[in-house]
Amino acid sequence: MAWTYLFIAGLLEIGWAIALKYTVGFSKPIPSIFTVLCMIFSFAFLAIALRSLPVGTAYTVWTGIGAVGTVILGIILFGEPVEMRRLFCIGLIIAGVLGLRLVSPH
Average pLDDT value for residue range 73-82: 96
Q: In the prediction, which pLDDT does 101 show?
A: 87
pTM: predicted TM-score of the whole model, two decimal places? 0.90
Dist. CA 67–CA 73, nearest whole Å:
10
Question: How would you class 59 by CB atoms within 10 Å of its CB: exposed for 0-12, middle for 13-18, buried for 19 or more?
Answer: middle
Dist. CA 16–CA 95, nearest whole Å:
24
Average pLDDT value for residue range 25-31: 97
Which of 69, 42, 54 lies closest to 100, judged by CA? Answer: 54
Domain count, the chain: 1
Measured CA distances, 70 to 2, 3, 12, 39, 75 (Å): 22, 20, 11, 14, 9
Give the pLDDT band of residue 106 (cuts 50, 70, 90). Answer: low
Asked if residue 95 has pLDDT above 90, the reply is yes
The 3-state DSSP class for residue 50 equals coil
pLDDT over 70, % of the chain: 99
Q: Looking at 59-63, 65-69, 99-103, which range is the least confident one?
A: 99-103
Average pLDDT value for residue range 61-79: 96
Phi (first) and psi of residue 41, to 5 degrees: -70, -35
Which range marks the domain in which residue 65 is found? 2-103
Residue type, 39: M
